[in-house]
A and B are shown apart, each in its own frame.
Chain A
Amino acid sequence: MYQEIFSKYTPTKDNLIYILHDIQDSDPQHYISEEAVQAISEYLNLPANHIYGVITFYSMYSTTPRGKNIIRLCESPHCYIKGSENILRKMKNSLNVGVGETTKDGVFTLELCACLGVCGNAPVMMINDDVYGDLTEDKVDDILAKLREVK
């Protein structure tokens, strides 16, 4: 099942990062499974521990299954003084999960992240590939509700 992704890349180590990106993006649970690591290990002829080392080093990769929508709320200094803690509290309450956890229905995973470089609109979060800025507690519910509706 990973062959389609592998066929886009030559089996050299420098392609590991991109293969990991592609595999994670194509997985409905947005993570890199043990089977995937084994398959990559064979394709790139790299030890599995090297691949685990890389996966756990970078914040964008996950080795545990995640929700359909991945929320990444910025906790860096600028968002922090603009009230990202309040947004986090609100989000935890609305979703009834802690940081790094997935909602029971599997729709959302809540994560924290470092500066997203959209500080002009702090506090900021990214959900999947989209940036949401100038967050307020009221806005959070609207955004979550809209995403829940998407089938």
Chain B
Amino acid sequence: MKYFRTHILIGINDTSKQAGVDAFIKTLRESLTAAGLQEEINILETGPLGFFGKGICLTVYPDNVNYENVKVEDVAELVDEHFLKGRPVNRLMFDAGSKFTPKFNYESRIVLRNSGIIDPESIDEYLGTGGYEAWEKALQMKPMDIVDEVKKSGLRGRGGAGFPTGLKWSFTAPIECEQKYVVVNADEGEPGTFKDRLIMEGDPHQLLEGIMICAKAVGATKAYIYIRGEYKLSINRLKKAIEQCYNYGLLGKNIFESGFDLDIDLKIGAGAYVCGEETALIESLEGNRGNPRWKPPFPGVKGLWGCPTIVNNVETLANVPYIIKHGAEGYKKFGTPDCSGTKVYTILGDVAYPGLCEIDMGTTLRTIINEYAGGMKQGFRFKAALIGGAAGVILSDRLLDVKMDLNSLNQYSAVLGSGAILVMNENTSIVDMLWSILRFFRHESCGKCAPCRNGSQQLYDLINKIKKGQGTEDDLDKLLLIAETMQQTSFCALGQSPVMPIRSALDNFRDEFLALTKK
């Protein structure tokens, strides 16, 4: 093995590709060679680096320096100053003004443990970090033992609803039938959420390993990853990863002579938020409009083409290899007693260091913002945070010390949802924000049931009126009444969701709405 004194990690994603990362890497390589540094400095093309900078972003280890928006023209200065003389180039650093060193807490990472460190397109690098050891172990386990281990670990779904994963599997595993399926919900459409994209871009093999273990546990021989059509890079990386698995004999017929067969296939979505709902997703897979189905029967009993089907979120499955490798007890070291494990967050908005992080369940919002996102951006004050996207809640500073886990948030009728945190400064209008959210619901309602189809339009009309200053105080009550009616009568979670942002916005920022209404 070769040792390098410095590693330059380059995030390859849509944004950096647009900014010409290929040409940048070529120039950087040439310049390092010209300076005679090619044996000392390693360039690694990797996934998400953990901070959301503009253009091409780099992280330099062991210096722990982050650069953003670097261009081909900057290469000479970077090589000369930083890589030769060890003086980081201040003007290119990501938010050099904040004096904040981001905390990457690699010690408590499960899902993102390889993200931004390994080359996501190389199966060998994943194997080198202990990858597919859990799959090897699972192949020798009894299916019910895998289910029990996941059950004991306390893992709950990471897509929003928080249903216990092991329990879900235990409904499907004992069913005796010809065909069962595993479907991965990678149709990430919740506004402000892209953790699944980053998980797939950063470490696609970990997701595949999770799928394999799930399939073995419930006895499915066919798995589909239903992924958004817009996620081109994730699609390409997953395709490559699946191909590598077939070449290495990790997928296919009679895997490692265990007698177990498994195929994984990618299915590309066509753009509909409602397809994130598991039964709508199944309808879409079957070639129909993505209208949700009546439950029960739940997909675990009767799903894709009438067969028992497990539908799990990307992040949920990416947790599974760790549980099998380290056991339920090892997994429960993370998080709180009632809500074990970690959660992947994307922190956006007016914070100093917007980025991707993975933190123990039960960490407070204040800690997340201050310690992982560098606090508020200089010159801004905290006003509100939108947690969990459009189907989420708007929290005020009153709730900054709430523990972020599935149970604690429930007490405030809030949900952890998808892990998207959008921090807003004091100048942001909550009325505007809610308007934008309700416009989204109106657009995405699938039209199957009347409460959601008509209700989402009425909500939009009302918020429009309020936004224009033509609303009355009665309209605020009406907004809540319609949303509550939708919650009680809508067919699926989409129509049941608008009440969350509306209620939390009115609870926490009622004065702001009143100031806009006519007396």
Contact = CB atoms under 8 A, between A and B. Distances in A.
A62 to B, nearest CB: 11
Contact of A81 (B18, B433, B439): B433
Nearest to B444: A114
A116 interface: yes
Contact of B54 (A58, A61, A121): A121
Contacts of B344: none
B104 interface: no
Contact of A119 (B229, B230, B348, B440): B348
Interface in A85-126: 113-122, 126
Q: 6 tightest CB-CB pairs across the interface, nearest first? A: A120-B52, A58-B270, A117-B194, A76-B191, A131-B14, A59-B271
A118 B293 CA distance: 30
Interface of B: 14-15, 17-18, 52, 54-55, 188-194, 197, 228-232, 267-273, 284-290, 346, 348-349, 354-355, 386, 389-390, 420, 422, 424, 428, 432-433, 436-437, 439-440, 443-444, 446
A6 to B, nearest CB: 14
A13 B440 contact: no
16 contacts: A21-B270, A57-B290, A76-B440, A78-B192, A113-B271, A114-B189, A114-B440, A114-B444, A115-B191, A116-B230, A117-B193, A117-B194, A118-B15, A119-B192, A120-B355, A132-B18
| Most interface-central of A20, A60, A77 (chain B CB within 10 A) | A77
Contact of A77 (B284, B289, B290, B422): B422
B231 A117 contact: yes
A93 to B, nearest CB: 22
Given A17-B284, A59-B271, A133 B18 contact: yes
A149 interface: no
B418 to A, nearest CB: 11
Contacts of B286: 13-14
Contacts of B54: 121, 133-134
Contacts of B440: 76-77, 114
B188 A117 contact: yes
A57 B191 contact: no
Given A117-B197, A120-B52, A81 B188 contact: no
A21 B227 CA distance: 14
Contacts of B290: 57-58
Contacts of A12: 287
B172 to A, nearest CB: 21
B192 A118 contact: no
Contacts of A134: 15, 54-55
